[in-house]
Copies of this chain bind each other. A is one copy, B any other.
Amino acid sequence: MRVTIAHVALRAGVSKATVSRVLNGKGETDVATEARVRRVVKELGYVPSARAVSLAKGRTGVVGVLAPTLTRPWIAQVMQGVADSMEHSGHGLMLFTRGLGDDSFRRFAGHVDANAFDGLLVIEPEATTPAVAKMAAAGLPVVLISDRDTDPNLPIVATGNQPGARQAAQHLLALGRRRPLVVGGPEGYDCAASRATAFTDAFAEAGFPVPPQAQFPGDYSGESGRVAVSSAVTLGIDFDAVFVHNDLSASGVLQMLAHVGRPAPHDVAVVGFDDAGHAALTAPPLTAVRRPLRDIGAEAARILAAALNGAAASEAAELATPVAITTELVVRESTAAPT
């Protein structure tokens, strides 16, 4: 049978309470007894039962993480940052994805209701925002990783879409490009919208508004990049640059540009987003906006951990300030200066 605190207590000749005190460092304990208890703990290889501890203490030491999916590279990166940070703070990490749709969310909500974890981290809440806000209102500490802060009461870590998109725009403007195509993400997605808007705003401010017909929705696939370019060509849209919402689609763009005889960077400059994978390996190598994805995840996890460790109200308010994320433009050949 499992070694329990009772065994330790018996063997050490003390009460369970004392063993608990020693292990949790609460209350004063005689140096000698403490040493004895610790010795017995080691001898018996005693480890407190997570189940019993969580029932008695009223918290689990576990944090829930809700992500749309793991298969998008940038999300995997963020998750890794979260995992590392959680490990650091000693929290367990329960993973939930919204992969299977509404049903997934319902099951997730069940775990919330069952108090299966102490705090929640949500990556790209999107449609689940209201439900999540409700959970937060019900007392569950929540931290969001998102660019749309619908609820000003929730701590939120931005994902760098706006500054990144602006950087991309400024870079293209500096190169003298004036008529960009924009290949976006799925309609209705926050991150897609914020990226596209920041980009077109920057161009508009510079005096070069981007016409709607030059903006194509996408789905983050390579194919959507290909389709956007060929559509633009077919429609006779005049363009000298392409801003693409992720690196995968950007590959499709590069491929199709070459196919239609307008290869980057000479005819068309191309900027991608994320730089999380193969951007340096495309032909030509892709200029891309790099986001500190792991840091974003780690930062969010840190904030949540702080909240769980009972941050004071003032502190919580401070944490609620959106955390600034610094993006970096990695310039490669796909935007080499026109000759």
Contact of A222 among B51, B247, B248, B281 (CB under 8 A): B281
Interface segment, one of A94-102, A181-189, A310-318: A94-102
Interface segment, one of A5-13, A83-91, A129-137, A152-160: A83-91
Q: Which residue of B lies closest to A3 (CB)?
A: B113
A51-96 with Cβ < 8 A to chain B: 51-55, 60, 62, 65, 69-71, 73, 76-77, 79-80, 83-84, 87-88, 90, 92-96
Copies of this chain: 2
Chain A 251-289 interface mask (CB, 8 Å, partner B; 1/0): 110110010000000000000000001101111000000
Interface segment, one of A104-112, A172-180, A208-216, A227-235: A104-112
Q: Is the CB of A111 within 8 A of B71?
A: no
Q: For residue A62, which residues in chain B have a CB less than 8 angstroms away from its CB? A: 94
A3 to chain B, nearest CB (A): 10
A114 beta carbon closer than 8 Å to chain B: yes
Known: A70-B83, A83-B95, A94-B94. A114 touches B278 (CB 8 A): no
Q: Is the CB of B76 within 8 A of A97?
A: no
Residue from A2, A71, A107 having most chain B Cβ neighbours under 10 A = A71
Known: A93-B94, A278-B277. A100 touches B114 (CB 8 A): no
Contact of A77 among B71, B96, B281 (CB under 8 A): B71
A338 beta carbon closer than 8 Å to chain B: no
Contact of A71 among B53, B76, B282 (CB under 8 A): B76
Complex formed: what's the CA distance from A51 to B281 in Å? 49
A115 beta carbon closer than 8 Å to chain B: yes
Q: Is the CB of B283 within 8 A of A115?
A: no
Q: A50-B116, A70-B79, A248-B281 provided; 17 other pairs, C-beta below 8 A?
A: A47-B110, A47-B113, A49-B55, A62-B94, A65-B95, A70-B80, A71-B76, A73-B76, A76-B76, A83-B96, A87-B100, A92-B116, A94-B95, A222-B281, A248-B278, A251-B282, A255-B283
Q: What are 28 A-B contacts with C-beta separation under 8 Å? A: A47-B114, A49-B115, A51-B51, A51-B115, A51-B116, A55-B55, A70-B79, A70-B80, A71-B76, A73-B277, A80-B99, A83-B95, A83-B99, A84-B97, A84-B100, A87-B96, A87-B97, A88-B100, A90-B107, A92-B94, A92-B111, A93-B95, A93-B96, A248-B281, A251-B281, A251-B282, A255-B281, A277-B278
